[in-house]
Structure 1
């Protein structure tokens, strides 16, 4: 009996010490990182435009989107933050709309903390790839079918120009990808100005190679939308596919901040801004 009490006391003291150490590392007021999110070698996120969940889910116009849903984790209760486009792109990159309420350009947000600055601070890498952007490091508001309002990383002075790349620079050797990549198709391929089928075909032609590679190379693809077509509900189609993903449909309510928080958790990063108030996705992994 005496020996049992000693063992229990030692176990309790050890648990207390580990918890205190974790909390001290996380910092005051910061949500502890969930160990259940796999640590991926690479995460690629692709954002499409202005479609209701019901317009993509099960649609014959989006066979590849729905194929990804059967291969991965589909989130049937996924929501954008607001309308119009630009504040949603800023939200998923920095955990806040930063007070932006419209699509005006240019937006300059200075050195506020964002996913890229978090990753860099942790010794990881970030790059954004924008289709139809005329040159690497471009800061103009528009060119052809490129729009800066869909490129949130260019708004932050602490994200170097070398991280703001044309989509043509997306590597065919996926081992050369940065830790986290954001991909923005042009105004046609993101479905803003063209039909759903156009975006569906673009996604298959440009990212399916990465999807199949990711499954056996500890990597992940996230596909989501900035917002729905303007309704108050703002429900969007979101799917995760790649290594460690447990295929299925998940009904937990998530939003752009949840997606950001999940990416952060993969690299033991604290949640920033509103992402700190979200729990990372932990039930879609195997």
Structure 2
């Protein structure tokens, strides 16, 4: 082979390698197509954690199935009647805003109805069960998250402040209100799982896989201030949040509704080890949150939750 021909062969080989390298890259500097990014993160794509008919892609994490973690424990706490702008950025809620900064803040979260009770039923059962007010009592035989979890062999319980005894079925007791404890209305949710707040384990390893925590009418901001509810959250669940960061566990903080507007925009914050911190857009509601918990534990979607995509863009 002549020297000139050798040079031409080497140049052709180098060009081929360069072309192969160029074809091997995809997604550009922002990552793979469709990858969710937090609001304000400098990317033209916006995270859409959940909406009807669409699901945001997320960064994979441990114990994940279908883009979702399966936390060792999930606690859901529901506050009352405060819109997004009355909590997020409010100096009277330093702990909630700390959680929002360190966790995932869902910036387009909404209640599905007014007044309170239908939102709790939606979150727990995928339906408002035809309830349009705060009347009490009600009895339902429909499926729900508590019954689903127990039937699948998972732990489940609720913890309500002011509940005088396990399985109490009265409509009220002091600042306790049954309208904020939807599990009481379902015949297939065992009374033993409906416990007073004082029964919430301080040894968090003894928590069920999924639990609901319901403050009373003052602690939940319904009758008292944002500052009161913020202090309550820090005092009662601050220890769990710190523990959850190192024990594959999750806290979901949400509200039932805002102060009565048509938009019904509410604060929703996720905190714990599985969470990727950031601010996330995309319309979500109580059905989205139910669908997310169901999907985490491999449960079928109930009612309107079947028309929501679970949150998948907010996880590590």
Unmatched 5+ stretches in structure 2? 1-53, 55-63
Q: Distance in 2 between matches of 1:140 and 1:281?
A: 35
User: In structure 2, what is the Cα distance between the partners aligned to 1:210 and 1:35?
Assistant: 27
| Residue 133 (1) aligns with residue 163 (2) | yes
* Number of residue-to-residue matches in the alignment: 255
Query: After TM superposition, which residue ranges in structure 1, 4 or more long, deviate above 3 angstroms?
Result: none
Could you tell me how far apart the structure 2 residues matched to 1:284 and 1:199 are?
A: 25
Give the TM-score of the pair, scaled to structure 2: 0.79
Q: Distance in 2 between matches of 1:159 and 1:179?
A: 16
Residue 152, structure 1, aligned to residue 182, structure 2:
yes
Structure 1 residue corresponding to 2:263, chosen from 222, 233, 237 = 233
Partners of 1:153 and 1:129 in 2: how far apart? 11
Match 2:292 to one of 262, 266, 271:
262
Conservation of the 8 A alpha-carbon contact between 2:71 and 2:274:
no
CA distance in 2, matches of 1:34, 1:56: 33
Which residue is equivalent to 2:245?
A: 215
TM-score when normalising by structure 1: 0.87
Structure 2 counterpart SS, 1:263: helix
Which is greater in Rg? 2
RMSD: 1.4
Q: Which position in structure 2 is the counterpart of 1:11?
A: none
Tell me the SS of whatever aligns to 1:232.
Answer: coil
Match of 2:117 among 78, 82, 86: 86
Answering whether residue 66 of structure 2 is matched by residue 35 of structure 1, we say yes
Tell me the equivalent position of 2:87. 56
Q: Deviations over 1:52-94 (max 9, x none)?
A: 1000010001111100001110000000000000010000000
Give the match for residue 301 of structure 2.
271
Q: Distance in 2 between matches of 1:102 and 1:282?
A: 33
User: Residue 78 of structure 1 aligns to a residue in which SS?
Assistant: strand
* 1:219-247 superposed Cα distances (whole Å, 9 cap, x missing partner): 10000000000111100000000012100
Specify which of 230, 245, 248 is matched with residue 200 of structure 1. 230
Gaps of 5+ in 1: 1-30
Please report how far the alpha carbon of residue 120 of structure 1 lies from its aligned counterpart in structure 2 after TM superposition.
Answer: 1.0
Instruction: After TM superposition, give the deviation of residue 34 of structure 1 in Å.
Output: 6.1
Deviation per CA, 1:131-187, whole angstroms, max 9, x where unpaired? 011111100000101000000000000000001000000000000001100010000
